[in-house]
């Protein structure tokens, strides 16, 4: 009989009950299939890690979202948000030569972060399920080949879900490395802005998106028409002056306020110049925060700079309709999206500080291993799909991760034996001249204390892809009603053609 799906504990913490766990297990098995295509071996790393490794890699921060533990010895322990440090330390102790590589290791397990503002259910929580794959190669060439192989496996995996997705050029952030891609489901509930071109295949996240400079942003003969925003560096030691062209919509007599900075300035482009500013500090309070020994830095947009360097950045905020930097005719548009996967080429970001060194051909000195890490947010995918495919009647799961592919509902016109017969037809198959028919993962709802209408509403709420109803047609003609809400299909079929009908619907999901 149908069971509850999930349970809410407290802000940012959730339990998975039987149906929710079946969804997670099916998604994990799908991931296993595609990791196997890469020759990756599955392992299980402890959820507890140590501050020592994180300090060694340079990622430890007292103000970060790390969840910290203290044992009776006051050891510096962490609940791991990811495992780059641990897996690198393990490989460093085992691998000594390029002949031991390549290595592909992955796990699907619980991760943790001290999320400041948990929200949107499974999309942003303190505890989450994640698949992380770690790859180790002896040189950059083979590491980049591995990276492309992982991207291909990810494509096949997301294609299996049969949900539209975007693959965006991405910033590696504190993970390190220079090459990374994000995988997104487009959703109004997303927290990421993904930009794409109307003409070519250019897709990038907000940190990396580029636009083509137009005649309206050509270099000015003076800086008198520029806007100047005053900011302070994160370490509170530097006054930062940001110069951008004055937008046509802003009259020359109107002074800019700090609230305008988010509308007119590409803050990611500022960061890429090497200047980290504190965006939460109003310019009116800077004088009281800056020490007397503070230095000053001026950051210029290419259109208002007093010098002629050709490589100066475009610091103005990208707007929908701006020209694409990769093609001549395309225009940029933006969509809200939920990030569900990320691939990183790490290079030697972790292998060098953690001493993962190997002997290589034609060299007398040992070289750091080339690494990659590749994540998939398992619980985040579940939350994203629930959000994307739900409607006023309930959830709608894709076939490959649905808790059950079909449910059989019995009404007053059917006996327990009738329900069992239909269930057996779907989930056990029937022998044919060509061999055993395809088995459908089926559950039977034979609860005698619930009406057929109640069972139908419950099945819609849970989101089974196909619902098979034993109603009046069963009593009169031994026919069942087959419903697929996501495809908008309702049909009546005889028992002999039931499995073929259900399988045909499922293939579209």
Q: How many CB atoms lie within 10 A of CB 93?
A: 10
The secondary structure of 247-303 as a DSSP string is PTTS-TTPPP-GGGHHHHB-HHHHHHTT--B-TTS-GGGHHHHS-TT-EEEEEE-TT
Instruction: Identify the burial level of 336 via C-beta atoms within 10 angstroms of its C-beta, where 0-12 means exposed, 13-18 middle and 19 or more buried.
Output: middle
User: Mean of the pLDDT values across residues 261-271?
Assistant: 81
For residues 161 and 439, what is the distance between their CA atoms, to the nearest angstrom? Answer: 20
User: Mean of the pLDDT values across residues 351-365?
Assistant: 93
CATH pick for 399-506 out of 3.40.50.2000, 3.40.50.2300, 3.30.1490.20, 3.40.50.800: 3.40.50.800
Predicted pLDDT of residue 433: 42
Tell me the torsion sign for CA atoms 63, 69, 75, 78: negative
For residues 330 and 290, what is the distance between their CA atoms, to the nearest angstrom? Answer: 44
Given a cut of 90, whether residue 13 has pLDDT beyond it is no
Residue for token pair 């990276």? 147
For residues 109 and 132, what is the distance between their CA atoms, to the nearest angstrom? Answer: 8
Buried b (16+ CB within 10 A) or exposed e, 193-209: bbbbbeeeebbbbbbbb
pTM (two decimals): 0.84
More confident residue, 191 or 159: 159
Predicted pLDDT of residue 222: 47
For residues 231 and 280, what is the distance between their CA atoms, to the nearest angstrom? Answer: 9
| CATH 3.40.50.800 domain residues, the chain | 399-506
For residues 68 and 126, what is the distance between their CA atoms, to the nearest angstrom? Answer: 12
Measured CA to CA in angstroms, residue 168 lies from 196, 325, 448 at distances of 8, 15, 51
Average pLDDT, the chain: 88
User: Mean of the pLDDT values across residues 84-94?
Assistant: 96
Where does the pLDDT of residue 307 fall: very low under 50, low under 70, confident under 90, or very high at 90 and above?
confident
Where does the pLDDT of residue 216 fall: very low under 50, low under 70, confident under 90, or very high at 90 and above?
very low
pLDDT in tens, 64-78: 788 998 889 988 999
More confident residue, 171 or 295: 295
| CATH 3.30.930.10 domain residues, the chain | 6-45+82-205+332-388
User: Mean of the pLDDT values across residues 387-403?
Assistant: 96
CATH class entry, domain 6-45+82-205+332-388: alpha beta
pLDDT in tens, 131-147: 999 999 999 999 999 99
Given a cut of 70, whether residue 172 has pLDDT beyond it is no
Q: Terminal CA-to-CA distance of the chain, rounded, Å? A: 24
């Amino acid at each position: 009989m149908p069971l509850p799906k999930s349970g809410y504990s407290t802000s940012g913490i959730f339990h998975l009950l039987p149906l929710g766990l079946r969804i997670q297990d099916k998604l994990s098995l799908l991931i296993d299939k595609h990791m196997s295509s890469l020759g990756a071996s599955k392992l299980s790393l402890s959820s507890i890690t140590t501050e020592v490794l994180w300090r060694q890699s340079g990622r430890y921060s007292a103000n970060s979202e790390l969840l910290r533990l203290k044992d009776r010895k006051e050891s510096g322990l962490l609940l791991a948000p990811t495992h780059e440090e641990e897996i690198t330390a393990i490989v460093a102790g085992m691998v000594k030569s390029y002949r031991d590589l390549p290595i592909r290791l992955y796990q699907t397990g619980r991760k943790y972060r001290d999320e400041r503002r948990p929200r949107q259910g499974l999309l942003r929580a303190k505890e989450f399920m994640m698949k992380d794959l770690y790859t180790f190669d002896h040189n950059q060439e083979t590491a980049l080949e591995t990276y492309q192989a992982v991207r291909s496996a990810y494509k096949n995996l997301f294609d299996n879900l049969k949900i539209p997705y975007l693959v965006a050029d991405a910033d590696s952030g504190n993970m390190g490395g220079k090459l990374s891609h994000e995988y997104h489901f487009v959703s109004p509930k997303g927290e990421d802005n993904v930009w794409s071109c109307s003409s070519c295949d250019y897709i990038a996240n907000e940190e990396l998106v580029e636009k083509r400079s137009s005649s309206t942003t050509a270099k000015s003969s003076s800086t008198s028409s520029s806007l100047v925003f005053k900011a302070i560096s994160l370490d509170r030691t530097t006054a930062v002056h940001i110069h951008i062209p004055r937008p046509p919509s802003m009259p020359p007599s109107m002074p800019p306020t700090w609230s305008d900075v988010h509308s007119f300035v590409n803050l990611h482009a500022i960061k890429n110049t090497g200047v980290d500013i504190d965006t939460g500090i109003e310019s009116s309070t800077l004088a009281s925060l800056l020490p007397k020994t503070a230095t000053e830095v001026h950051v210029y947009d290419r259109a208002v700079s007093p010098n002629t360097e050709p490589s100066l950045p475009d610091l103005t905020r990208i707007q929908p309709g701006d020209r694409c930097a990769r093609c001549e005719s395309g225009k940029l548009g933006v969509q809200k999206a939920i990030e569900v996967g990320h691939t990183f080429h790490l290079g030697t970001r972790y292998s060098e500080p953690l001493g993962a060194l190997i002997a290589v051909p034609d060299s007398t000195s040992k070289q750091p291993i080339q690494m990659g890490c590749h994540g998939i947010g398992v619980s985040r995918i579940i939350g994203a799909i629930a959000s994307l495919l739900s409607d006023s009647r309930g959830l709608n799961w894709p076939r490959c991760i649905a808790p059950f592919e079909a449910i059989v509902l019995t009404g007053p016109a059917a006996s327990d034996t009738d329900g069992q017969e239909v269930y057996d037809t779907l989930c056990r198959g029937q022998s044919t001249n060509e061999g055993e028919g395809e088995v459908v993962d089926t559950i039977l709802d034979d609860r005698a204390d619930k009406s057929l209408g109640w069972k139908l509403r419950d099945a819609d709420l849970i989101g089974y892809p196909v619902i098979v109803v034993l109603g009046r047609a069963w009593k009169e003609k031994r026919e069942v009603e087959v419903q697929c809400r996501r495809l908008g299909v309702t049909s009546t079929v005889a028992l002999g053609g039931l499995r073929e009908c259900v399988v045909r619907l499922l293939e579209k999901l």
